[in-house]
Chain A
């Protein structure tokens, strides 16, 4: 089984978000800033690794992003994805249609091991939450798509998908080839092992020049969510082991009416 996983490098803040002076980007220059992948996509990658362990074949991670996305791609190679493809951008944001077109082209091209049987993505991107790239890819390829998947089992070329809805799960079945968009909680992604990291350095990552189409969903500016910057009222003396705050906590439970 040949599997493509689509994953996107996104900024991660250790504290609060800051924006650039012109308000169009997240300021990634701060010391507490880093980059990461969405948990949804980490789960997609884990599922791909498990499926290749079960059925053979290979897995490829595809991203549309800056050259530095290689760091995130390698983090997935370290947990068992076989190779990476980066459709390289100059850092300007691609809208969901532009992103989808680039990914569709890569999925159509197939992997060195043959055509893809399965494309796994997150249900929504961590940063932009567009809820659409997987569905666009499916229509372009003429493949079925199941979204919001939190349970996946493949038997005889049929994917049984569980979709979490409130307190129950809906079951869908689709024949491969198919697109499946998954959610955090599908599995527990493994941590990279030391040998895994060493192997990842030798795996291939292809760079392909991307040309950003004119955005049809066009970002104009960003703003931070307006909320009062609170400063928590410290209960107790705030100096000891905290147990001196217990009477105040119980009093608070009473005031709020939870006891």
Chain B
């Protein structure tokens, strides 16, 4: 049996976290799921539609929102009771965090960012996992009786399957220390504007834009295309744009229909955040810039001359 820990936010299932159920069902027909928090009751039906049979619901008066160590303690209690062969999650920030607490407490290895998982029966398992934001893949062995692994987000697709969704509710024993780290408040909810991750089009600028004022023309193009603004790390580390706009390995991962990279060289850490864009256009003075190996189309030249003309022509075309 494999135990999958899924996440919900105040009773709304995290759809990415469910991918691990499909990933687990490909390895073992018996998959149990752990959900933590009373509001998890609201997601049991949905979990059944992904093939979950027994849904272990850990309910505790003091756990009213995400509490990482409490989730790990609940999982540990369950692990000692149901003895799974593996505990799997999707590697969302919460999924990785809870699994790492389990690994730390049990002093077992944990493999994050897995694309493929193969369970061995002699305490040696094999995984393929991302390194460098997906630019490199590693084949690794995990030496552990209990395999702890996180699928990279979107490494497996959530597939519908039929499960019973039987609820097994329990109250984990928790100490004060297990509850010490928890969400006290949320700020900035309901922010507006075309978000980077939802945008169909992204107009992105790099060092070649030259400074914060240089982004005015990118913003004009963005407003004509209903696009969000993105940027490279050089831009955020110079303070030209806020970090929330940074695309890449340590920024945001995006997959728009169209990504327009203006004055961006195409470092692999930037590409890690935009490689799955449907179409990439590069505007760059350097015809040999690495971005040319990833872009579908390129314009060789100075963005400061090209963009004003492009804005004018786009505006004219829309009229």
What residues on A are CB-neighbors of B279 within 8 Å? 252, 256
Nearest CB of A to B241, in Å:
11
Contact: A250 with B189, CB < 8 Å? Answer: no
Contact: B185 with A171, CB < 8 Å? Answer: yes
What residues on B are CB-neighbors of A245 within 8 Å? 299, 301, 306
Contact: B136 with A162, CB < 8 Å? Answer: no
Give A230 to B290 CA distance when docked, in angstroms: 11
- Which of B33-41, B56-64, B242-250 faces chain A? B242-250
Contact: A242 with B283, CB < 8 Å? Answer: yes
- Within 230-248 of B, Cβ neighbours of A (below 8 Å) are at 233, 236-237, 239, 243-244, 246
Nearest CB of A to B9, in Å:
8
Give A140 to B100 CA distance when docked, in angstroms: 13
What residues on A are CB-neighbors of B11 within 8 Å? none
Give A168 to B132 CA distance when docked, in angstroms: 26
What residues on B are CB-neighbors of A172 within 8 Å? 181-184
- Scoring A130, A135, A136, A166 by chain B CB atoms within 10 A of each residue's CB, the highest score goes to A135
Give A126 to B137 CA distance when docked, in angstroms: 13
Q: Counting CB contacts under 8 A, is A157 at the interface?
A: no
Q: Which chain B residue has the least Cβ–Cβ distance from A226?
A: B137
Give A225 to B155 CA distance when docked, in angstroms: 13
Please tell me the size bucket of the interface on B: 35 or more
- Scoring B189, B302, B309 by chain A CB atoms within 10 A of each residue's CB, the highest score goes to B309
Give A170 to B184 CA distance when docked, in angstroms: 7
Given A130-B112, A135-B100; A185-B134 close (CB under 8 Å): no
Contact: A238 with B287, CB < 8 Å? Answer: yes
Give A70 to B226 CA distance when docked, in angstroms: 47
Q: Counting CB contacts under 8 A, is A44 at the interface?
A: no
Contact: A234 with B181, CB < 8 Å? Answer: no
What residues on B are CB-neighbors of A246 within 8 Å? 306, 309-310, 313
Given A185-B243, A188-B239; A144-B318 close (CB under 8 Å): no
What residues on B are CB-neighbors of A144 within 8 Å? 177, 180-181
What residues on A are CB-neighbors of B143 within 8 Å? 215-218
- Which of A12-20, A48-56, A193-201 faces chain B? A12-20
What residues on A are CB-neighbors of B111 within 8 Å? 217
Q: Counting CB contacts under 8 A, is A108 at the interface?
A: no
Nearest CB of A to B151, in Å:
13
Q: Which chain B residue has the least Cβ–Cβ distance from A130?
A: B112
Contact: B281 with A249, CB < 8 Å? Answer: yes
Q: Counting CB contacts under 8 A, is B140 at the interface?
A: yes
- Number of chain A residues close to chain B: CB under 8 A: 90
Contact: B109 with A232, CB < 8 Å? Answer: no
Contact: B104 with A136, CB < 8 Å? Answer: yes
What residues on B are CB-neighbors of A155 within 8 Å? none
Identify B180's interface contact among A174, A239, A252, CB under 8 A: A174
- Within 143-158 of A, Cβ neighbours of B (below 8 Å) are at 144-148, 150
Contact: A216 with B301, CB < 8 Å? Answer: no
Q: Counting CB contacts under 8 A, is A229 at the interface?
A: yes
Contact: A96 with B109, CB < 8 Å? Answer: yes
Nearest CB of A to B257, in Å:
6
Contact: A259 with B225, CB < 8 Å? Answer: yes
Contact: A230 with B250, CB < 8 Å? Answer: no
Contact: A167 with B191, CB < 8 Å? Answer: yes
Q: Counting CB contacts under 8 A, is B101 at the interface?
A: yes
Contact: B301 with A258, CB < 8 Å? Answer: no
Contact: B136 with A232, CB < 8 Å? Answer: no
Q: Counting CB contacts under 8 A, is B5 at the interface?
A: no
Q: Counting CB contacts under 8 A, is A208 at the interface?
A: no
Q: Counting CB contacts under 8 A, is A127 at the interface?
A: yes
What residues on B are CB-neighbors of A217 within 8 Å? 109-111, 140-143
Given A96-B109, A131-B100, A258-B257; A216-B188 close (CB under 8 Å): no
Q: Counting CB contacts under 8 A, is B96 at the interface?
A: yes
- Scoring B126, B249, B267 by chain A CB atoms within 10 A of each residue's CB, the highest score goes to B249
1/0 contact string of A228-259 vs chain B (CB within 8 Å): 01111111101111110111011011101111
Contact: A127 with B233, CB < 8 Å? Answer: no
Given A222-B136, A222-B137, A259-B317; A136-B100 close (CB under 8 Å): yes
- Name 7 A/B residue pairs within 8 A (Cβ), A-sorted: A97-B109, A126-B269, A144-B180, A173-B184, A230-B295, A233-B296, A235-B297
Chain B residues within CB distance 8 Å of chain A: 66, 68, 91, 93, 96-97, 100-101, 103-105, 107-113, 126, 130-144, 150, 177, 180-191, 195, 197, 200-201, 224-227, 233, 236-237, 239, 243-244, 246, 249-251, 257-258, 267-269, 275, 278-279, 281-283, 287, 290-302, 305-306, 309-310, 313-314, 317-318
Other A-B pairs, 8, CB within 8 Å; known A136-B103, A249-B310: A127-B132, A148-B93, A166-B197, A168-B191, A183-B250, A216-B143, A246-B310, A259-B224
List 4 tightest A-B contacts by C-beta distance, closest first. Answer: A242-B301, A185-B243, A184-B250, A232-B298
